[in-house]
Amino acid sequence: MIEKIAFGKTGHQSSRTLFGGAALWDAGQSEANRVLDVLLEYGINHIDTAAGYGRSEARIGPWMKAHRRDFFLATNTEHRTCQAAKEELYRSLERLQTDHVDLWQMHLLVDPAEWDTAMGPGGALEAFIEARAQGLTRFLGVTGHGASVAHMHIKSLARFEFDSVLLPYNFSMMQNSQYAADFEKLYCLCREKQIAVQTIKSLARGPWGNKPQTRTTWYEPLEAQADIDRAVHWALSRPGVFLNTVGDISLLPKVLNAAARFSAAPDEGAMQLMATGRNMQPLFT
């Protein structure tokens, strides 16, 4: 079974590996049910999906009816105005077949102009605060991609004390000195304020570039179990962080298998050899 720890100051003990609902982007219902049943085998009790993840919410909803009390359920919106965000939350709740989510997140909040809109008068933040007051969500978070995301999350936390953040974290990205410095600053701030840190893209080998896309991930992932073990164990070796699983259902069992066997960080030399041997490249520069 996968370890459970406090998800920030929410009071929920979440499995350190969270199910990333993007894996169900174009899944049929029977296929989605089989994938979601695997979570029970590993003790996963936290699902992270999004309104923009294709069919994901609609596939999770029917399965979730029988499991709602056992799962911390998160979704998000990319809308930046109050009214649009509010309307999307209602649609998400309908697709997820629940009267509330546990965590509602502002998705991909990294563009400065969009940030100003979301955090300003009539912005999405107003919808978020209202939704929490109405019991439509219990907690609020912010997510993002890109090289500037850690810096932008720090800015977001200065504006409003969100309950969680989500951003890329892998060996390649942390070779970028500026990203690493921003990540460390954000991580320390979140530890101090008991804000949950969710990480994504742990399996990223690099951009697809001109290669044929053979997986449903938008980046080329590591595929061998030994490589996945190193990548997953490297991410989980940072105290307190959560690892969101890969957006490809065929790789999901390998990630869960690796997470269930985590005990210690891999040797730094082994990580460097893997990065060189697999020609790993940062997704964002």
What would the pLDDT profile of 36-64 be if each residue is shown by its tens digit? 999 999 999 999 999 999 999 999 999 99
pLDDT value for 71: 98
pLDDT under 70: residue ranges of the chain: none
C-alpha 78/C-alpha 88 separation (Å) is: 9
**Amino acid (one-letter) located at 42:** Y
**Amino acid (one-letter) located at 176:** N
pLDDT value for 58: 98
Pairing between β-strand 164-168 and β-strand 196-200 as defined by DSSP bridges: parallel
pLDDT value for 1: 83
How many residues in the chain? 285
pLDDT value for 165: 98
pLDDT value for 119: 98
Closest CA to 35 of 26, 232, 210: 26
CATH for 4-277? 3.20.20.100
Cβ-based neighbour number of residue 10 at 10 Å: 18
C-alpha 281/C-alpha 285 separation (Å) is: 10
C-alpha 41/C-alpha 90 separation (Å) is: 31
**Amino acid (one-letter) located at 104:** W
